[in-house]
Structure 1
């Protein structure tokens, strides 16, 4: 059962709340998940997991959800079911199991754990965390750019009045 009492089903996406980000896994049955783990990813690790930002390789692991989550909260989050048709559960398990033990390319921006599990469930590699972070960075850059421009105009206006 997921925290909150939800019964887990094979192929469910599991979102695990870590310090500052979400780690993703896919449920493959009997309490196990498959997930993409950079070498620094340690269950409930917090700060040491942030080192995954610099990793360029990761290992596909099959572990008990209770071990992967550690003391962190987790939930089922099949958030793209309304947009993409989930693959059949047996196909998800087959693909996930075939990947276990493999070391594959990793990038926090385009090959992370969320991309990995979405590709297994939907056949579509995507990460909303990355999209949201890039959007937030773009909005912040635009805000500071406009604020800087206003500051320059006000400073120029003040100089001209003197």
Structure 2
């Protein structure tokens, strides 16, 4: 009987050690809200907040739809492949901040038409780019090789985030 009790104690000890060594996740365990792991890469991805076009993401007394209501003196500093939009934008504290944004990061050329496009790189196939008000104009090549004059309203997807310009997608 003593031998059976010793064997039972050993078996229970091994069972307890196994449970400690390889715990089972409880239903209350969860991934932190600040990051989600991509299974294939194991890289944390920050939570994304999606806003509708024209939504003003600045706070306080600043009211705007897009960047135009809170940014001024906007110019295209390089009309070539690196089409940088330079503006002075109001931040949440009400101060002006210099802001640069490469429009190639959110505008592309779709068969001769400027279009909203993540990392679109319109500067690679468009030239003579210029900004007037909130309109970006350029001459863009079509798939057949001809050139078309086209424009796009930047205020649709360009936003002011505390004095920094960026696309809302």
TM-score by length of 1: 0.23
The structure, 1 or 2, with the larger RCO (C-alpha pairs under 8 Å, 6+ apart) is 1
Q: Which has the higher strand share?
A: 2
Q: Which has the higher helix share?
A: 1
TM-score by length of 2: 0.23
